[in-house]
Chains A and B, each alone.
Chain A
Amino acid sequence: MSVIIVFLLVIAGFAGWWLSHQGLMTKPWLEQGVASDLVGFDRSGLPTAKIGLGVFLAVVGCLFALFTSAYFMRMAVSDWQPLPLPRLLWLNTGVLVLSSIALQCTSVAARRGQIDTVRLGLAVAGLTALAFLIGQLMAWRQLTEDGYLLSSNPANSFFYLITGMHGLHIVGGMVGLGRTTAGAWSGARRERLRLGVELCAMYWHFLLFVWLAIFALLAGWAATFIDICRQLLT
């Protein structure tokens, strides 16, 4: 459970930082009125939707941290036989990176108001994300054909489970991306479009980060890394 504890410590750090800006030491019973000093404790200037997405990503992060925790705990049992990762996953990783870069460029373009670039960027991001999903499915097929079935070993079970969960989150993101793309073609308001693109980019970067982390986990590097950390500590 150490992974989830570390993850929650990071969240607690954020929460503590935020709380420290909320005037927890003020004495509200002595202060009346509305003044500029109080505005500092007011709402954040960020768009509400971004904060909402940020909170959601914390929940998603929590989910994957828990899968990782479970992975490490189950790994310690002797019947664990790691499966060889298909080389296709490297290609998929590259495609997902491309998708993320495309959305980053799109959000720059949206800020500048270049609607044609935005449309192009959204289309590229959507197609590459789709390509990633297809690539993942092909990797699954390759593994099942080689006899690495879901239930034959816990390492396989975790592989399908975690990549599947990640894929489902990409599918969910595609819905948001689809809506934004539809907005870009049907002439949504500029600020609205920009916000939509930025939200998509944020979500994509996060899922890319999650993918890199679980790729490292499934490939076994994460375990090696943790072993090194443990040896350094003891």
Chain B
Amino acid sequence: MVDITPADGIPPAEIAEVELYHPHSWWTKYVFSQDAKVIAIQYSATATGIGLVALVLSWLMRLQLGFPGTFDFITPEAYYQFITMHGMIMVIYLLTALFLGGFGNYLIPLMVGARDMVFPYVNMLSYWVYLLAVLVLVSSFFAPGGPTGAGWTLYPPQAIMSGTPGGQDWGIILMLSSLILFIIGFTMGGLNYVVTVLQGRTRGMTMMRLPLTVWGIFTATVMALLAFPALFVACVMMLLDRVLGTSFFMPAISEMGAQLQHNGGSPILFQHLFWFFGHPEVYIVALPAFGIVSDLISTHARKNIFGYRMMVWAIVGIGALSFVVWAHHMYVSGMHPYFGFFFATTTLIIAIPTAIKVYNWVLTLWRGDIHLTIPMLFALAFIVTFVNGGLTGLFLGNVVVDVPLSDTMFVVAHFHMVMGVAPILVVFGAIYHWYPKATGRMLNETLGRFHFWVTFLGAYLIFFPMHYLGLMGIPRRYAELTDMTIMTESAHHLNSFISIMAFIVGFAQMVFLFNLIWSIRHGREAGGNPWRATTLEWQTPQTPPAHGNFGKDLPIVYRWAYDYSVPGAKEDFIPQNMPGSFGPSREPA
């Protein structure tokens, strides 16, 4: 054990006091608040609200797929609209906003030992622009022609033609405007998350002492800042194509026998721009989940994370690699074989850092003191689900296997497992873990276990059968396939089964929401550190943390975030801000 504390004591944290904005009224305290914790709650609540819309949309889709022809109001056009809005909301307005805007805002300042984000005013603006983006998105449901039905990838030329719902109406315009707003709002927030990690860390909190949650959110934010501009460019150019008749993406094309004025545009260009954003987006959602799950496992297994350095390198490595794999979403666009070979190779290389992470999680569990708390259950479920989803990624990453599987239900099953279910499981685990800090009360245990088992098993019952449907060749994005020979009797039964499971899992989420609201008043008192965790957010003088987070003096950090079960220490965890050295020498021989 190297104790590098200087003999003459530690000077107090010598960080210039942040100029904290002190609210004067109820409005500036709870609504137009500049406190990152309030903004985090606002982000989370808005994301959950719009996420519920997406959940209902998925039910409507399942109604149609499971029981085709039964519900008259689900026309093919409506089905496309449900699919599009479901995908877009879940990926961008729910997951991205929740992980970065919600968890990022709440956890970064607390975990790095800062009083608030470095630019609180910009941070507040970020939320309000995000809310505006969500409102514009919602407004498209009420616009003439309804929301766009172009699919969440919004591929031109179909996205802005009259055959697609919303293509020549308001739908696509509102969608693109909403995305542009979202990106502007996110950039404001993202600057805060990055610069707070760079500049807001308290004394002693080196980058290599950061909890992996912060590393995950930090790297994901850097990626998002560099990837979202690609979507921005694509949206602006498509908006010009649609509104002002330019031909960035629109080739010469005729519609209903009439020649459109577009000429020579390249739909492939849109695909490149879209996926240059779209692939990093997968990891923008996954990296915060990786980070959070590392902390959950370490805390609830009472054991230091295995291979901390390797975990950091893997996060950074995945972040860098994810920018050079985008074209694996475009294997069927007719690309040069060498091009496909290159992207297949880079895609498969990502499996290396990802596998390192999985091994390290499993090795952290090995001989740990595993407490099967609800956050731990969700973390374990995440590992399993992520591995499952990742394995089908190996299929789809290879050009020759991808081509026949492209646009089948297999793809749907793959990405729902790997970037839908897996990150959402982490979101749930993280909420069960940090809810006591945010509210001072525990979530109800019985309801929580019910929620976990139904969600975990149910998600498998939904998405596992979809792999088989996909292998049978059943395509995605079709409202009705009843008359086709591939839709055998058994495939129909499977579809109905999936739909019923989807309703049950959706119902479990209602139980979870009830738990969230009910426990604010009726939950068990949690105390300041119910999980006996080491990181700084659990060491605040008040729970929930007050404005300014840490009372009079900022904490000084003396150790890394994972001192669990240190031999010789009084308790099985040593908070990061506790001085002194413990335990026998852990120096390598």
| A→B interface (CB under 8 Å) | 1, 4-5, 8, 11-12, 15, 19, 22-38, 41-44, 48-49, 51-52, 55-56, 58-59, 62-63, 66-67, 70, 73-74, 77-80, 150-151, 154, 157, 161, 165
Contacts and interface: CB of A to CB of B under 8 A. Distances in A.
6 contacts: A1-B272, A30-B1, A34-B204, A59-B190, A150-B240, A154-B246
Contacts of B187: 56, 59
A51 B199 contact: yes
Contacts of A79: 247, 263-264
B201 interface: yes
Interface string B364-406: 0000000000000000000000000000000000000000000
Contacts of B245: 151
A33 B308 contact: no
A210 to B, nearest CB: 13
B226 A161 contact: no
A59 B201 contact: no
A67 B276 CA distance: 13
A32 B585 CA distance: 12
B309 A27 contact: yes
Nearest to B236: A161
Interface string B417-440: 000000000000000000000000
Interface stretch (B54-62, B227-235, B492-500, B514-522): B227-235
B273 A29 contact: no
Contacts of B2: 30-32
Contact of A43 (B201, B222, B562, B579): B201
A70 B233 contact: yes
A56 B191 contact: yes
A190 B556 CA distance: 32
Nearest to B312: A24
| Dominant secondary structure at the A interface | helix
A33 B225 contact: no
Given A32-B581, A58-B225, A66-B230, A73 B269 contact: yes
B208 A34 contact: no
Q: Which of B119, B263, B308 has the most CB of A within 10 A?
A: B263
A54 B587 CA distance: 40
B6 A36 contact: yes
Given A63-B233, A154-B265, A29 B560 contact: yes
B408 interface: no
B246 A157 contact: yes
Given A15-B222, A35-B5, A77-B264, A52 B229 contact: no
B226 A32 contact: no
A79 B209 CA distance: 56
Interface in B249-267: 261, 263-266
A66 B229 contact: yes
B1 A38 contact: no
B10 interface: yes
B4 interface: yes
Contact of A59 (B229, B273, B557, B562): B229
B416 interface: no
Contacts, number: 175
A11 B558 contact: no
Contacts of A58: 225-226
Contact of A74 (B201, B266, B586): B266
Contacts of A52: 118-119, 191, 195
Given A33-B5, A66-B229, A151 B195 contact: no
B207 interface: yes
Contacts of B79: none
Contacts of B115: none
Contacts of B233: 63, 66-67, 70
Interface of B: 1-6, 10, 118-119, 187, 190-191, 194-195, 198-201, 203-204, 206-209, 222, 225-226, 229-230, 232-233, 236-237, 240, 244-248, 261, 263-266, 269, 272-273, 276, 304, 308-309, 312-313, 316, 320, 323-324, 556-560, 562-563, 579-581, 586-587
Nearest first, the 5 A-B pairs at minimum CB distance are A33-B5, A79-B264, A28-B560, A35-B4, A34-B204
B118 A34 contact: no
A38 B204 contact: yes
A34 B556 contact: yes
B195 A51 contact: yes
A43 B320 contact: no
Contacts of A4: 230, 276
B229 A43 contact: no
Given A34-B558, A79-B263, A154-B248, 13 more contacts: A5-B324, A23-B206, A26-B206, A28-B208, A32-B1, A33-B558, A52-B191, A55-B195, A55-B225, A73-B272, A154-B247, A157-B247, A157-B248
Contacts of B269: 70, 73-74
A123 B226 CA distance: 34
B578 to A, nearest CB: 10
B186 to A, nearest CB: 10
A19 B316 contact: yes
Contact of A33 (B4, B195, B313, B323): B4
A59 B118 CA distance: 18
A18 B332 CA distance: 39
B237 A23 contact: no
Contacts of B244: 150-151
Given A41-B207, A56-B187, A157-B248, A151 B261 contact: yes
A67 B233 CA distance: 7
Given A28-B208, A29-B560, A66 B273 contact: yes
B109 to A, nearest CB: 13
A8 B245 CA distance: 32
